Amino acid sequence: MVFYAGLQASAASPDQSSQLIEQQFQGCTNSNYPKLINKHKSDSIDAGTINMQSNGDILLDDNVLIALYDGQIQASSATYLQNQNFVKDIKNGHIYHSDNDFKFLSGSLAKDSGELKLYNGAAYLRERNLLVNYQSLIGNLGQNLRFQNASLSSCNNVSEGWEIKAHSININEETDRGFIEDLSLKVLDRTILKLPYLPFPATTDRLSGFLEPDLSFTSDGVDLFLPYFWVLSNKSDLTISPRSLKDRGIGFEGNFRYLTKSNADAENYLDLLFFPKDKEFRKDHDRDDNKRWAFRIKENRSFANIETSIDWAKSSDSMVLLDLPSSLTNIANQRDHYLKQSVSMDMLVNNFSISIIREGFQSLNPFINNGYIKKPELNLDYKKYGSSVSYFARANYANFDINKNQHLALNNKGIHQTGKRLFTEIGAEALHSFRYFDISIDGLFLHKKYNLDNKKIKTQSTSIPSIKIKFTSLLRNSFKDNLSLLIPEFVYQKTGFKDQSMDPIFDLHQRNLGSFNRLNTKYFFGKDRVPDTEFLLASLKWQKRIKNNSALNFQIIKKNELEESQIISSFLDNPIGKDNQIGTHLSFKNQILRVFFAANYSQKRNTLNFGQTRVDIQLPETSVTFSRNYQSNVPLVNATNELDYAEFSIERLMPGGYKFIGGISRDLDSKKNLESYFGFGYENCCLAFKIYASDKRLSKYNLLNFQSMQFNDASWDKMISIENKSRINFEFELKGLTGGNKRMNRFFSNAFSNL
């Protein structure tokens, strides 16, 4: 249950928060209180019978209407004291003021001060869709309202939602805050809670205050967040949340969001997680310092033709984000392999662009080091477009240093070389159109040079030519609402061979060795290994657009390598020679069905390189998704890696406002579930609750042989067991009273496909 309902705005940008809440009530407003348009001047009075007294008082009877500055009074009868500008003895009255409605049997109102006293009535507060039934109401319009012996709800039928009965309900319309005294809460006609005091927001605007507590039952025990939301300005806010995790201790998290004038569409943020003492971490790692922390700052700014970007994250150790997953901060996905540490500046002037980058990474795999750090990297790019011939020139300069990891269990001796590298490309593209086809010829000249810190290692400049010739055509057929496109394409490409075995490898991190894509090897090895290639490629693409937004796309690709790549073969224990491959891509979508399929098959190795398929079905009450992904990688330096997994999810709306969600991700290679979740919820116009459970675990990292020999299976299993996380979460929302939890629990969003 919520003990303070400050507006929950953590998932929306500051300027979007009130809009989200407003949309929350669309279609759920009380039809008994329609919105009125005030067409009367503030001094106008009307009634069926008007009786002027000798003292100046006016007795009004039958269809009384008295205009106010921002509303009006309607009644069966009333007395207007002109000298005091005061309305008394209002019978069967209805005051409409600032879109709020006040109905009552008797009461009075001072027009100048807004002071009112109303008895036995109901008030409808439109902004939060709240209806208050009261015995008496004393206060001032637009300032403060005090309801005595009152009930509060946003439900048209309280037996199907919630209702609060209280000794008093107090609302300050100037501060947009309210509080309830001596209350009992009924949900679905059952009393579930009694409290002496409960504050709540009286507006849909962003408002500082405590947010709904976030309660979960996890594999580490009860996990409790108590967030406080602080509005700093109309473009910035701060959320600070003490957190208690039973088996680990007490810590806190923070989220600071802000918009910049130069880039109002980009949300910038700083996330922070800190546990001063992690009890479980001390047991597993036997370290004197058991502080756990992590942070991430992300910011983008624009100044005329200059853009700056910061994406910098750091953690106390590689396992903290696996041990302490959060629903508040967004530092990293549980399955991310590294934290990015990048600062960049880009400038574009006509056809010339320049970028300066400082880039590094912190590994989140405890057995893989942080790799290299670029400090800095400089990119220059010039393009000149012509009607038939275009030119370009690019230069990349990078200074590489070792990004040390003090917590790495085993230092990787393979990463020890440092130095500078200059990589340049100069090329041109000639394009000529014939009647039925286009031909383009790309010529490219690559050059790289190293200046290593170890002067004993001799390097030499390397120049590599490359050419690409492409024939393409476009056949079009349209009839009424249907459009068909047939695009045949033929490509010849050749990149010359140069011995690069003496060049260091800066861009190729060892974790990438299992991600070999034979269809696009141009820069798989970064800029340190440019593979020699010569192949012919033919493709045929068919696209069809049908009425009602239906579309069909089909493509088939055939690639024949004419020569074996000496560069690639040098990385293989068992070179396979030149290969022939065939690939296909198919997609279809309409209003109900979306289907995607892609595959690539190696004829030389008689194996499927990769396959991907996904089916989405969107029915009025049911949404189903199925996907299957497979990737078989070339075994580089004795490391094998197969990725084979499937995912299934379902979301089902049931009668009466009930909803079911569920899903599973399964590693078909290891035959174990990586993630499963299911949940059940109920929602109507005034009430919502959810309960859902999640179990998540990660596959073992595929380590290189020389590393895995250093650790026995028992040690690794103990380490990887930290990553197995189970949670049971509860969400409860009293619409109109609470702000609504819009965070979208992040452990659901960490799909296995994000690997």
pLDDT tens, residue by residue, 294-335: 999 999 998 888 999 999 999 998 888 878 888 788 888 766
| 186 and 285, same domain (yes or no) | no
Mean pLDDT of 667-681: 82
- Number of domain units in the chain: 2
Q: Is residue 576 part of a domain?
A: no
Q: Is residue 638 part of a domain?
A: no
Percent of the chain's residues with pLDDT above 90? 41
| 261 and 199, same domain (yes or no) | no
Neighbour-count burial for 573-587, b at 16+ CB within 10 Å, e otherwise: eeeeebbebebbbbb
Q: Is residue 642 part of a domain?
A: no
Any idea which residue has 């995790």 for tokens? 245
**pLDDT at position 399 over 90:** yes
What residues pair up with 222 in beta bridges, in sequence order?
Answer: 217
**pLDDT at position 53 over 80:** yes
Q: Which helix (H) or strand (E) holds 569?
A: helix 566-569
Of 416, 447, 467, the position where a domain reaches its end is 416
478 vs 137: which has the higher pLDDT: 137
- What is the rounded CA–CA span in Å between residue 468 and residue 466? 7
| 312 and 401, same domain (yes or no) | yes
| 402 and 259, same domain (yes or no) | yes
Q: Is residue 31 part of a domain?
A: yes
How far lies 720's CA from each of 249, 666, 715, 724, in Å? 21, 17, 9, 8
Q: Is residue 376 part of a domain?
A: yes
Q: Is residue 374 part of a domain?
A: yes
Residue ranges of alpha helices (H) inside 253-307 are: 279-285
Q: What is the DSSP letter of 97?
A: E
Q: Is residue 427 part of a domain?
A: no
Residue 350's CB: how many other CB atoms inside 10 A?
A: 9
| Among the listed residues 158, 153, 178, the one whose alpha carbon sits nearest the alpha carbon of residue 168 | 178
Q: Is residue 335 part of a domain?
A: yes
**pLDDT at position 700 over 60:** no
CB of 78 closer than 8 Å to CB of 90: yes
93-97, 412-416, 572-576, 714-718 — most confident range: 93-97
| 19 and 125, same domain (yes or no) | yes
| 146 and 270, same domain (yes or no) | no
Residue 153's CB: how many other CB atoms inside 10 A?
A: 24
- What is the rounded CA–CA span in Å between residue 359 and residue 370? 12
pLDDT, residue 693, reads 84
Average pLDDT along the chain: 81
| 202 and 292, same domain (yes or no) | no
Q: Which of 8-12, 412-416, 696-700, 736-740 has the lowest mean pLDDT?
A: 8-12
263 lies in which domain range? 252-416
DSSP 3-state assignment of 321? helix
| 184 and 325, same domain (yes or no) | no
Residue 8, token pair as written in the block? 């929950």
CA atoms within 13 A on the CB side of 403: 25
**pLDDT at position 242 over 60:** yes
| 167 and 265, same domain (yes or no) | no
Of 416, 450, 467, the position where a domain reaches its end is 416
pTM > 0.95: yes or no: no
Which amino acid belongs to residue 153?
Answer: S
How far lies 608's CA from each of 52, 216, 248, 565, 632, in Å? 96, 42, 45, 20, 7
Burial class (CB in 10 A: 0-12, 13-18, 19+), 237: buried
Helices and strands (H, E) in the chain, number of each type? 7, 41
pLDDT, residue 263, reads 57
pLDDT band at 363 (very low <50, low <70, confident <90, very high): confident
| 292 and 197, same domain (yes or no) | no
| Among the listed residues 733, 735, 738, 687, the one whose alpha carbon sits nearest the alpha carbon of residue 5 | 738
pLDDT, residue 2, reads 29
Of 381, 416, 451, the position where a domain reaches its end is 416
| 187 and 302, same domain (yes or no) | no
**pLDDT at position 23 over 60:** no
Q: Which helix (H) or strand (E) holds 534?
A: strand 533-546
Percent of the chain's residues with pLDDT above 70? 81
| 204 and 272, same domain (yes or no) | no
Q: Which of 63-67, 139-143, 408-412, 543-547 has the lowest mean pLDDT?
A: 408-412
Q: Which of 24-33, 341-350, 456-465 has the lowest mean pLDDT?
A: 24-33
pLDDT band at 131 (very low <50, low <70, confident <90, very high): very high
